[in-house]
Amino acid sequence: MNNQPIGVFDSGIGGLTVAREITRTLPNESIIYLGDTARIPYGTRSKEVVTRFAKELMDYLLKLDVKALVVACNTISATCLEELQAISPVPVLGVIKPAAKVAVETTQSKVVGVIATRGTVGSKAYDNEINKINGDIKVISQACTLFVPIAEEGLGDDEVARVMADRYLSVFTGTGVDTLILGCTHFPLLRDTIQQSIGKNIALVDSAQPTAEELKEILGEKDLLSNSTESHNKFLVTDAPQRVFEIASVFFGKEVFPQIEKVNLD
């Protein structure tokens, strides 16, 4: 047993959707969430820069003695998960593989759609994970860049979201896709709009719950589960304008991470 905290990090606060699932699945665990709000978004940046920023986030959390790390960001997971795993002394878990597994289990047509940031789509990380499990599945990907700022503006159910969803998702028409991965932590905030645009027969899969389940499994295997009866969560960001508080409550409510603390990475 091990009562050290779990480090969860993200380019911003979208990863709170993953952190929330972890607190539900593993209520005895303490979480330190670190969001790089000073440099968000990562999804439009190069591999080199995303990797450098991600290593800085990881180093910061390792200094706080976390027992495991969750990369609650599709772009980082897609770009440099293996580099992070290679240099981390503790287990590092990404969000791509857990969602890919669920999508493979879900699809009947063997055609899976992926919507994500430009960085994640360009990495082909979902294609690779899905085809490692089943090489016969066809993957069709679409970058949905504007979904990120639309989600952050709280406009996930708005006309602007519907206009862009119809535009972006038309690429899946007639392809036989029956399962769509929401490959960005922001996209669950547009879930209803996406479902309505693509049709109610398409299964939507996101990373939050599958990642929390995989974390539980890994901690169990390595005997790292906590036996504490209470959890102490921390919510750290690299920039905290008033707006971060507003967006955080869009993503999370205020029940689990009551306070937001600003930190410097260097």
**Residue 141 annotated in ligand binding:** no
Mark residues 147-186: x for contact with a second copy by CB under 8 A, - for none: -xxx--x-x---xx--xx--x-------------------
- Give the ranges where 125-186 is alpha helix by DSSP (H): 125-133, 147-152, 159-169
Q: Does 59 help bind a second copy (rule: CB under 8 A)?
A: no
Instruction: Tell me the closest approach of the beta carbon of residue 164 to a second copy, in angstroms.
Output: 6
State yes or no: residue 56 binds a second copy (CB under 8 A).
Answer: no
**Dihedral-angle region of residue 209 (phi above 0 means left; psi in -120 to 50 means alpha; beta otherwise):** alpha
Q: Using CB under 8 A, count the residues that bind a second copy.
A: 26
Q: How far is CA 194 from CA 28, 164, 205, in A?
A: 34, 10, 12
The one-letter code for the residue type at 168 is Y
What is the identity of the amino acid at 91?
Answer: P
CA distance 5 to 226: 9
Between 222 and 241, how does the x/- string for binding to a second copy read (CB under 8 A)?
Answer: ----------------xxxx
Q: How far apart are CA 164 and CA 170, in angstroms?
A: 10
CA 192, CA 218: separation in Å to the nearest integer? 32
If residue 219 lies in a helix (H) or strand (E), which one and from where to where? Answer: helix 208-221
In this chain, which stretch among 26-34, 35-43, 73-81, 132-140 interacts with a second copy, using CB under 8 A?
A: 35-43
Task: Show the binding pattern over residues 181-220: x = contacts a second copy (CB under 8 A), - = does not.
Answer: ----------------------------------------
Which of residues 109 and 170 has its CB atom nearest to a second copy in the complex? Answer: 170
46 part of the interface to a second copy, by CB under 8 A = yes
Q: Tell me which residues in 72-111 interact with a second copy (CB under 8 A).
A: none
The one-letter amino acid at 189 = L
State the nearest-atom distance from the C-beta of 26 to a second copy, in Å. Answer: 32
43 is in an annotated binding site: yes
Q: Return the bridge partners of 143, or none.
A: 116
Q: Which residues are catalytic?
A: 73, 184
Please state the φ and ψ torsions of residue 33, each to the nearest 5 degrees.
Answer: -95, 130
Q: Which segments within 22-157 are labelled E, that is strand?
A: 31-35, 68-71, 92-93, 111-116, 138-143
State in angstroms the smallest separation of the CB of 145 from a second copy.
6
Site residues (vs a second copy, CB under 8 A)? 37-39, 44-46, 48-49, 118, 145-146, 148-150, 153, 155, 159-160, 163-164, 167, 238-241, 243
Q: Pick out the residues of the known binding site for substrate.
A: 10-11, 42-43, 74-75, 185-186
